Structure 1
């Protein structure tokens, strides 16, 4: 079996979990199947680096002495705001030689600065997607998924999504059983689908300032199977449908319909992840009415069917 070298780049201001999360995944896979991964860390000059949380990390070597990697992993952190030119220059020269280029969180900015994301679809932490798009217009930035694969380049969102991506790569390399073993050791899901949204409906929308609108938001999340038309929600807020729709969008940043769609999708996801309820039962409980309506919503938003979504998360018996 071919051993794959995973080279993790270090720099001052790096996010420690961006380094240790994926590293633990690959190290766990190496323990499960010896001889499959070789982990190596390197900083621009081989000197210790200080992470954003104040920890000191000692690299194995300098980048100039680093082995040619199969997987080159670039973490994020505050240090990506003013990157070391030695690092971006090294990435520009050596990045294209790696069989896989991987970034975690704002590590995407380092890949972009080195020109390695030009013409590619990529993501980063949702709070920084706008900046990535502005500073690097040649990159097609997708703010929604927890990770994006474009050819041999993979970019991920915030901290824990780096673990999801690393598990997906282990599954690709060694199979589902090995990835599942590592996931169980780390007490995480085998892997969330890359198309899963980065945050919940409640986080995606702002909380309305006015009490009637806040009450409607809470009521929607607690009753996804109810009549959630604009007319019905406007009646709960004691507003006309037109006034309600305008006020809701102004105060939450999204339309009532889109908010309802997100709540229902999130509710269905949780039931698929945490229960053994059948798809038909979940579709009714989540307000879709029919399994086909729920399937269309999942494919549109996540690029996968409810059945496939559940398979990736859990192995639970379902009730017909």
Structure 2
């Protein structure tokens, strides 16, 4: 019998990433064994979806075999840099599901161009902890637009997911669903200009997009509460991510890893290194161990014992950001009103 209609439904964007995978397995571990669970895996491509499902199934088999017959998998193909793809994903979910209990917004796309190795060496020599906590030597391309004529990183990491939430709000509201936005340790106000909300002129568009995530959360969570939806803001700390591997060789990768461990040993609480520890804050927030008005971070001791950190955020401009996004939502509702496409191919 299919579990899709009656089970606890969790949707994780970017499930194929290190963090996405670990959010999935930690959630499966911590949900009550009495629950049937439908896990909706997302990616831009079918091979990545299949790989993610196989990896999670293998984890269940090895680590939580008692959940083997409690989990059913589904998938949607969605590209948050393509508004038609987002609409198609909504249409597919709306046809199949009556509710969604958990939505993890794990969007983390950058437009990296490489590493300024000279600057990296200087930063590491001057302050090794800062060099692997708030690096400035990662080069990002400026002015990259999507095919929808929006800032690519802006659309991928913030507006695309926000529009997706707008479309599936009724599914989240049905059974008091929860939204968990994944922000970043580097979402500082200095990375965002209110004259460039789409981050087209920013040399730090990734960090700017995560600052937008922070402000968007604070500008919208109270209104979502009125619909019966709880929204949370978290960050995963610093961990080994696959997104930057193309710019590293075996020596620089292990050099980076060594600096991570050094930073942790010297007292940095955010060098979690492990994707499993990084997923602590997202899953804890989903399961009610956080507050909506505060940012929850994944942290650990120098010996790797995990804990949660609770952080205040400068919310200046959150209402303006929410207003801008809602205006853009209306514009895209109008543009897409006659276009519904199903992404699932036979």
The structure with the largest strand share of the pair is 2
Q: Fold-level match, TM-score > 0.5?
A: no
TM value normalised by structure 1: 0.34
